[in-house]
Amino acid sequence: MATSDAYMRTPTQQAWRRFKRSSSGKAGLLIVGFFILLAMLAPLLMPYDATKDRHLRLRLKPPSIEHLMGTDELGRDIFRRVVHGSRISLRVGVFAVGIALVLGTVLGLLAGFYGGKTDMFISWLIDIMLSFPSILLAIAIVAVIGPGISNAMIAVGIVQIPVYARLTRSMVISIKEQDYVSAAMGLGAGHARVIFKHILPNGLSPLIVQGTLSIATAILDAAGLGFLGLGAQPPQPEWGLMISKGFLYFTRAPWISLFPGVAIMIAVLGFNLLGDGMRDALDPRTVR
Amino acid sequence: MKKLIIGLLALSLAFGVASAQTLVYGQSKLPVTLDSSDAQDGNSLRVSYQITESLVAFKPGTVDPKPGLAVSWKASDSAKVWTFKLRQGVKFHDGTPFNAAAVKFNIDRWNDKSNKYRGNKQFVPFTWVFGGFKGEGSIIDHVEVVDDYTVKFYLTDSVGFFPNMLGASYFGIDSPKAVMANPDKYGTPEVGSVGTGPFVFSKWIIGDKVILKRNDNYWGPKAKVDTLVFRGIPEPASRLAELKAGAIDIANNLSPEDKVTIDSDPNLEAVVQKGLNIGYLAFHQKNKPLDDIRVRKAIAAAVDWDAIVDAFYAGLGERATEFVPPAMWGRDGHVPAYTYNPELAKKLLAEAGYPNGFKTEIWYMPVSRPYFPAPQPIAETIATYLADVGIKATLKTEDWGTYLSDYDQGKFPMYMLGWSPDYPDPDNYLYTFFGPTPIKTNLGCESEACQQIGQLLVDARTAPDMATRKELYAKVQRKVHELTLSIPVAHNNPLHAIRKGVKGWIPSPLGSSENLNLVTK
């Protein structure tokens, strides 16, 4: 019976089954789901305008029932800011990875499929980018295009391009030799059709896994830029920025920096666990 | 063998401690330059003050002038010609003698734009103090070497407080030989500076520290420590943490809110300084609509300045109403404070044609300063008040060195800045902010009213008696308030801390003129 069951399942069902068996995947999904829900419901449940938020009489109050995470140097409720910070961090994570995924995959497809000079040039470009420490490269990019949250997003995205380009390139090179690709070519399919209909769909799973994992890196890098004053600008409730601002008051009010730090930790952990689960589900060859 | 090594180690340690004492000073930034007359910030001047000395000095912790490299001075009856007798037997660190020719060399280098030893320097502070360069408003016409140890300053007009001006920490006398050797690079990390002071420039490790060694041939009280190290630690909290850890001996300009922490630490001692500083928010009128007086008045009324001073100065600072602090003469004394009145602000904005506000920028300094211990939270608070009346102010900052060279370019619509005096005279505040040149460059105001203010300050500078000067300064402050050219925010009594055991450190009310040669550890 078991064999016939397996026979009946679609690949998606199989993947979902493997995902359900991965405990890290489930934990990750739970955490990420929680953050996504938080980010979507925040404006409805507790509307917030960072540009007007100020309660100077309530400055530097420790955590209490009223202010679950205490208040900061302007008397702002840190809980509210951390919750709204999730909107910024998730957006940065998703958009940055989106930029990297699209550009990186295109470069990788071109390099892997055409080979020769194209491959040499693209690989050379990627090698250069990989030779920089990622946060340093991001700082350099922001230094050129100017600080700000959208620029930080672009910078973090650009930094991650080589990862996808490499991954896609190696994937294309191995799939290119498969019989079904030769068959499609033999039947007269154009390059674009072969690349997007035959090669890309068959190599998508490692990209999805990598995408989930690098959202975590992107959140961390963006927070790093915020901490350095190059990412989000005050008074935005960006987690990294909140940590760096709380630094001025660290001896007296450590909670200002502590809670955004915890939020970053949990979010990053969530995406990493989810990524692990995705790998278990989509890439069965991986030895655990 | 092991014992021997330990013994040797202990021995060397014992001798090391006894023979090589190092005092480490933690300030918010490393210097921008050590060419004092080209330096605009206290962090540069505090270091250069240890290396180069001015003709006139101030008694530690006070604003009372005392002999520096000059032993005495005398004015002619009109106060237009000043004769300075110089200290004899003083040598620069490079061995060349300090004499009248060296003084003339330095003054000419600063005053004369065609002097070939200026290098690529701007000498902006010289124009703040003396009104411009030679032929462009400088009150110094020329300097005459009478004999080896006598110089005469010929002024274009009578100035009764001329020695105080020369005592400003910008005007450290540099070794002519060292300047001539490399005018461009003089004062940079590569070359450092050469003066007559109690410490000799040793090494400047970019981004890390500046190391000075004791000058064993110093003419005055020789330094009590062998090595003096300056470190730049931008965050006040990090400065305090390093002080607690014993990595630095003196941490200046700490967050007022940390006084409790310092008092409760048995290894630390809080030092509250009597401040003569002023922190203000300036408008640059090249940026519309800030050229409209109604808009400026609206901004002044939109913000609860009292609440800001209460919140961010932890009781150590006081609300400013005039640009000269209460401890100094030259105030009107009756200029009213801008009161918090958002309704009035909205009304004024509507009258000016901005019923829904407008977009602008507030620039804040990236480092804590004596007058603004927490610039970013203060800027954020100001922005929230402005948002209440519809003005969307974006918060911006940039590297401190760039900030100081950008604010007078009109790049910042609104900017936070402040001042600790260089010499004890109201002139040093008001002329620096509202003199004929600064009022144009720093505030972008070229209207007739502004030109009048500039002229009043020129008149006050050369007025024969105190009473007249006092009246002129009071008038200037009333006019500045009427026109709302800038908003005075606070006078602060800065908080510093030292490790217990550090003795003899007296912070200067002039900001950076500290006599670190008197400090023991």
Burial class (CB in 10 A: 0-12, 13-18, 19+), B156: middle
> Largest alpha-carbon pair distance within chain B?
88
Q: pLDDT value at position A50? A: 93
Residues A252 and B254: their CA atoms lie apart, in Å, by: 13
Question: What was the pLDDT predicted at B17?
Answer: 45
Q: Which residue of A has its CA nearest to B260?
A: A252
Q: What is the pLDDT of residue A270?
A: 96
At A249 the pLDDT is 86
Q: Is B10's pLDDT higher than 60?
A: no
Kindly tell me the sign of the dihedral angle through the C-alpha atoms of B224, B226, B230, B231: negative
Is the predicted ipTM greater than 0.95, yes or no?
Answer: no
Cβ-defined contact of A245 to B376 (cutoff 8 Å): yes
Q: According to the model, what pLDDT value does residue B299 have?
A: 98
Contact B285, B291 (CB under 8 A): yes
A63/chain B closest Cα distance in angstroms = 19
Q: Which amino acid belongs to residue A219?
A: I
Contact A74 B380 (CB under 8 A): yes
Contact with chain A for residue B408, Cβ under 8 A: no
Chain A residues with CB under 8 Å of a chain B CB are: 49, 51-54, 56, 59-60, 73-74, 229, 233-235, 245, 247-252
* Residues A67 and A80 sit within 8 Å (Cβ to Cβ): no
User: Across all residues in chain A, what is the average pLDDT?
Assistant: 91
Q: Is A146 left (phi over 0), alpha (psi -120 to 50) or beta?
A: left
Q: What residue ranges do the domains of chain A occupy?
A: 28-42+75-282
Closest chain A C-alpha to B237 CA, distance in angstroms: 5
Q: What is the pLDDT of residues A94-107, one digit of tens each?
A: 999 999 999 999 99
Residue pair B370/B274 in contact by the 8 Å Cβ criterion = no
Q: Would you state the pLDDT for residue A5?
A: 53
Contact criterion met (CB < 8 Å) for B257 and A60: yes
Contacts of A51 in chain B (CB under 8 A): 383-384, 387, 392
B257 Cβ under 8 Å from any chain A Cβ: yes
> Predicted confidence band at A6 (pLDDT cuts at 50, 70, 90)?
low
The pLDDT score that the predictor gives to residue A285 is: 65
Quick check: B422 pLDDT over 80?
Answer: yes
Residues in chain A: 288
Calpha distance A239→A83 (Å, rounded): 10
Residues 6+ positions from A178 with CB-CB distance below 8 Å: A202
- Cis peptide, bond prior to residue B326, ω within 30 of zero: no
- Please tell me which residue of chain A has the smallest CA distance to B389: A52
pLDDT at residue B19, as a whole number: 54
Rounded to an integer, the average pLDDT of B291-304 is: 97
In the prediction, which pLDDT does B61 show? 84
Average pLDDT over chain B, rounded to whole?
A: 92
Q: Report pLDDT digits (tens) over A141-158.
A: 999 999 999 999 999 999
- Residue A8 tokens, joined: 């009946």
Question: What pLDDT, on a 0 to 100 scale, did the predictor assign at position A247?
Answer: 84
Residue A143, both tokens: 């230094």
pLDDT of residue B2: 54
Nearest to A52 among B240, B377, B388 (CB): B388
> In a 3-state reduction of DSSP, which class is residue B9?
helix
pLDDT at B478 over 70: yes
pLDDT at A133 over 70: yes
pLDDT for position B512: 87
How close A206 comes to chain B (CA, Å)? 41
Query: Residue B220: CB partners within 8 Å, gap ≥ 6?
Result: B198, B517
Q: CA angle A52-A57-A63, nearest 5°?
A: 90
Q: Provide the percentage of residues in chain A whose pLDDT is more than 70.
A: 96
Residue range A28-42+75-282 forms a domain whose CATH class is mainly alpha
pLDDT tens-digit readout, A16-75: 888 888 899 999 999 999 999 999 999 999 999 999 999 999 999 999 999 999 999 999
| pLDDT of B465 | 82
At B376, is the pLDDT very low, low, confident or very high (cuts 50, 70, 90)? Answer: very high
- Best residue in A48, A51, A151 for a mutation probing chain B (most B CBs within 10 Å): A51
Q: For position B4, what pLDDT does the model report?
A: 54
Of B57, B16, B54, B40, nearest to B518 by C-alpha is: B57
Cβ A233–B376 below 8 Å, yes or no? no
Q: pLDDT class for B14, splitting at 50, 70, 90?
A: very low
| B90: alpha, beta or left? (left if phi > 0; alpha if psi -120 to 50) | beta
pLDDT in tens, A175-212: 999 999 999 999 999 999 999 999 999 888 899 999 99
